[in-house]
């Protein structure tokens, strides 16, 4: 299928990770694969682990096989910082041990292993990007904190519920910075027959209370909050992305909390 956008003609190839026969034709004329497809909702993975492994892990194996058949040797894979679990060592570097907290993270780690071993056995050159909490645009996952806060700001929900006092911090990464990381990874792939893993996060800690306060300021709306009992969740999760900055020349430039919320609010209002 071909489509035209302004002066640029874009050719679109359609394949399905769980339909191996569809992947080789989709790779015709492709030099580099940026693999971002998959199931991502960690909470759903508890009740549907087989689905997550079928798509995220077996789907990766299908893609790697198709790449080998078509002679495509360059890959950038979107993985997840959730693989680290909630270590005491913060910020989290690539050198700390994995502590897989749920089936979603397990399925992504298994996909990483498929990439790593395939690279060793072939000419594949691969970068694995462990993304942290991507935000800043229209988020289809309405269970995440920023969409929930903005729904309350818009009056589409009566309030936002927070577990505990809102002091838990997370590393929020603007989607523009996430996209820029893929461009940088394509431009700085490792040598053939090898893979390299990179943390992609802002390195900035934002508390849940900060998110609510910033959203109220950006939107000019009162956001009612109900505090629920504290849950068993990490008090602090933040990435150390020094390796990506050093080796890929990538650095987040849009991941200030106010810009993230402002862009998410604009996307929300444009729905």
Q: Kind of pairing, strands 205-207 and 169-174?
A: antiparallel
Phi, psi of 116 (to 5 degrees): -60, -45
Instruction: Please identify which residue in the block is written with the tokens 């109900």.
Output: 226
**Measured distance CA(154)–CA(139) in Å, rounded:** 15
Contact 54, 38 (CB under 8 A): no
Q: Residue 14: which of 30, 27, 26 has the closest Cα?
A: 26
Catalytic residue numbers, as ranges: 104
Q: Kind of pairing, strands 125-131 and 160-163?
A: unpaired
**Measured distance CA(246)–CA(166) in Å, rounded:** 33
**Measured distance CA(3)–CA(16) in Å, rounded:** 20
Phi, psi of 34 (to 5 degrees): -105, 110
Q: Specify the 3-state DSSP secondary structure of 83.
A: helix
Q: Residue 194: which of 61, 68, 73 has the closest Cα?
A: 73
């Amino acid at each position: 299928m071909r489509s035209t956008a302004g002066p640029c003609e874009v050719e679109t190839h359609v394949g399905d990770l769980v339909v191996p026969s569809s992947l080789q034709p989709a790779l015709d004329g492709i030099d580099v694969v940026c693999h971002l497809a998959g199931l991502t909702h960690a909470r759903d993975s508890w009740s549907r682990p087989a689905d997550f492994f079928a798509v995220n892990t077996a789907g990766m194996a299908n893609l790697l096989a198709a790449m080998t058949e078509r002679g495509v040797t360059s890959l950038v894979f979107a993985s997840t910082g959730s693989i680290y679990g909630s270590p005491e060592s913060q910020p989290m570097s690539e050198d700390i041990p994995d502590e897989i907290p749920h089936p979603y993270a397990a399925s992504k780690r298994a996909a990483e292993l498929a990439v790593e071993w395939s690279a060793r056995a072939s000419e594949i050159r691969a970068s694995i990007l462990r993304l942290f909490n991507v935000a800043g645009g229209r988020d289809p996952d309405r269970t995440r904190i920023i969409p929930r806060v903005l729904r309350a700001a818009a009056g589409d929900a009566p309030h936002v519920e927070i577990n505990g006092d809102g002091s838990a911090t997370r590393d929020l990464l603007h989607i523009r910075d996430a996209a820029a990381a893929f461009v940088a990874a394509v431009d700085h792939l490792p040598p053939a027959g090898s893979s390299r893993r990179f943390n992609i996060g802002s390195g900035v800690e934002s508390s849940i209370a900060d998110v609510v306060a910033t959203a109220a300021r950006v939107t000019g709306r009162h956001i009612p909050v109900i505090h629920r009992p504290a849950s068993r969740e990490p008090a602090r999760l933040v990435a150390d992305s020094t390796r990506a900055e050093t080796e890929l020349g990538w650095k987040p430039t849009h991941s200030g909390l106010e810009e993230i919320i402002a862009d998410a609010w604009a996307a929300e209002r444009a729905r």
